[in-house]
Amino acid sequence: MPTILTLYEIPEEYAKQIREIAPDYELKSVPVKEVTPEQIREADILVGWNRKMEQAALESDNLKWIQSWSAGVDYFPMDQLEEKKVLLTNAGGVHAIPISEHIFAVLLAMSRNLHGNIRSQVHGKWDKGGLYGEISGLTMAIVGTGHIGRATARIAKAFGMHTIGVRHSGDPEEHIDDMYKTDGIEQAFSKADVVVNILPLTDETHHFFNKDSFGYMKKGTVFINVGRGPSVDTDALIEALDSGKLSSAALDVFEKEPLPEDHPLWKREDVIITPHAAGNTDHYDVRAAEIFVDNLKAFVKGETLPRNLVDYSRKY
C-alpha cells in the first residue's frame, strides 16, 4: 500500500479528510525529529521536511511529491528533485496574516518609540525622550507582493499609507498604488519612508539589499526584513544604519541563524530583533493542512496540483 508520511501533526479533522480522499494510501505520522531514513525512502508522499533525511529522499524510488510545511523552499535540493520528477509544493499563504501583523507590530513600535520605552522599563527608568511619529501619510515600499505583500498592503491602506510595490513582473496588484519592476528600485526606494523586504531567496535575490539598494533610499528610512536573511547584505545594512540612511530596522531573519551572541546588531538601540518568529501562529497547522488536502484531491486524480506548486526554474 502506498504511504503518506507526515512529519508534523495533522489536525484530526484533516487526517480524516485525507483518509477519505486517498483510501488506497496508508497515512503515517512520525515526528520530524524521530523519522528514520527507511521511513523516508518508503514514503510516496512526504508532508514536511527534515534536512538530515535529504539523502534518503533522493535515494527513494517511491517518492512522488513533497508538501513543505514552510513557505520558503530555498533549502530543498531542487535540481535533484526536478531530475527525479518529484513534485514540490510549499505552504505559501499560511503566513499572510501573522507576518503582515508582525510587520505593523514592529513598525508601530518603532514609530511610537515602544522599543525605547521597553528598554527604559527594564532599567526602571522614566524617560520621555525619543521620537514619537505617526505612520498615517507615510509611503511604504513592499518588495515581494505575494500573499504576505498583498495582506501588508491592505493593512497599510487602512492606516492611511501610500503603497509602492516591487515585483519581478511589475503587474498591478490590489491595494498597491504604484508598482515597479525589480529594476526600478532606485525610483521606488527614493519615494519610500518604510521599506519592507518579503523576498524569497533565489540566485537573483541574494544580497538584493546591498550598498546600492540602501543608497537609493532617502535619509531616515525604516527597514523591515521578514523575507530571507541572505537577501540582505548585513554589512551594508549596518553601514546604512551608521550613516543615518536608515533611521531604524526591524529584523526577523539573518544571513546566519541563530544570530551570534557577539553580533553588533544585538546592542543597537535602533534595531528590533526577533528570532525568525514573524510567521509563527497557533493557526499554522490548520492552514497548512488545508493546502495539503486541496492538493491531495488533485493528486489522486492525476491532475495538476492547484496550490503552491514550486516552479523549479524559478526556485519558488
Query: Where in the sequence numbering do the catalytic residues fall?
Result: 228, 257, 276
CB 150 within 8 A of CB 173: yes
Residue 208 in grid coordinates:
538584493
CB 175 within 8 A of CB 156: yes
- Tell me the three state secondary structure of residue 195: strand
CB 207 within 8 A of CB 231: yes
Under DSSP, the state recorded for 105 is H
Residue 153 in grid coordinates:
498592503
Q: Which residue is associated with the grid cell 508582525?
A: 102
Residue 290, CA distances (Å) to 69, 78, 93, 221, 283 in order = 11, 24, 11, 38, 11
Give the whole-angstrom CA distance, residue 52 versus residue 38: 13
Residue 126, CA distances (Å) to 33, 120, 121, 132, 289 in order = 46, 7, 7, 16, 47
- CA–chain centroid gap for 66, Å, is 19
Q: Which residue is associated with the grid cell 522614566?
A: 126
